[in-house]
Amino acid sequence: MDRRRGGYQPRRGALGWLLSQLRRDPWPIWLVLTAHVVALGLALVLYALPHHVIPHGEVSIGIVSTRGGAATQVSAPVETPLPEQEQPAVQAEEQPVADAVEAEPTPLPTETPEPVVVGNFRDDFPGMFTNGEVTYSDTGYQSGNLNVRYFTEYNNDINAQVYLVEFYVADISCLVTAFGKDKYGRGYTEWIEKIAERYSAVATLNGDYYGTRDTGVVIRNGTLYRDNKTTDDIAILYWDGHMEMFPAGEFDAVREMERGAYQSWCFGPSLLDGEGNPLGTYTDGHGTNKRHPRSAIGYYEPGHYCFVAVDGRNKKSNGAKIDALAKIMAGFGCKLAYNLDGGQTSLLALANKLVNIPSDGGRNSSDYIMVIDSVSP
């Protein structure tokens, strides 16, 4: 007997029921398209949660450079050499006493020169720093460790608002980087004013937003955290205060740590040729040929640097293409300059107050570059 006759229906799952309903009464096309869009959005959210939203730490490579240029792997166990075993003393044969001779005069002691501290620029910029007192205003800050000048102008060539913070540091340790929430890894982000206040920073600029990528090099305050392949130019600041730029394929992280790499930024592109001239051609990949809000770090000489921000995406300021940013940095007198993360991430603060007008109100960033009035060993 066929049990499917006489009203008996086999049990079906929810999918089978849905398919039968669609065959019987198909959905309107607009409803089908809406369902597909909702499903795609849900899939993207589920993908983004573990990758960009939910914070999770990452393991640092752990190679640490020092002011002397040597690099050590701090994660490896340090072997303590065993003490040498004492050897029994060998009794020397008695020797005849020689006739007394006139002793030579003892040489006078010589003064030992003080060791040169790598990354100390106090004597390189006479008159730039005070004897310890602090003076500050809306346009500058001066102390025994810092000389900071703040300036803003409207660039009529590109119709954009430009901000400059030019500064001298008495010691390289006054120029530091910091992770959002002071944690290395994905999803750890923080608002610029909050982190600037916690570090008592005099000036703060967003970094390269390493936390959104798995690629690239991350060196912060002398520690190598990540060394992955990248197609971006790489900027390196060394303990002795000088800066260098590397195309992606020419960078060796271990070698540069041995040379005393102190900070790295991996976003780019590099903007100037080392003599203060725009490069003219630039590595593409971060909206090079489009107007965007921009952030950049500039280098004049060891101990002398600048932060630059360009507003964009609003009625009063159109942002800048990379070639325009390079001309701006050259116009400020920089020898080298490097483009950092921009767009909504472009943020610049003095003390703990935001000074530029970020796109769409700005956003929390995973890392910052700061000028602080403090010297560490």
pLDDT digits (tens, 9 = 90+) for 49-95: 444 455 656 777 889 998 876 677 765 433 334 334 344 444 444 44
Q: Does residue 144 register a pLDDT over 60?
A: yes
Say if residue 30's pLDDT is above 80.
Answer: no
Which pLDDT score is estimated for 24? 63
Q: Which amino acid is at 300?
A: Y
- Specify the DSSP class assigned to residue 120: B
* Average pLDDT over the chain, rounded to an integer: 85
| Confidence band of 108 (pLDDT split at 50, 70, 90) | low
Instruction: State residue 55's pLDDT score.
Output: 61
pLDDT of residue 86: 40
Q: Is the pLDDT of residue 352 over 80?
A: yes
Neighbours of 125 (CB within 10 A): 15
- Distance, CA of 348 to CA of 353 (rounded, Å): 9
Whole-structure pTM value: 0.77
> Which tokens is 226 given?
């990540």
And the tokens for 290? 């489009």
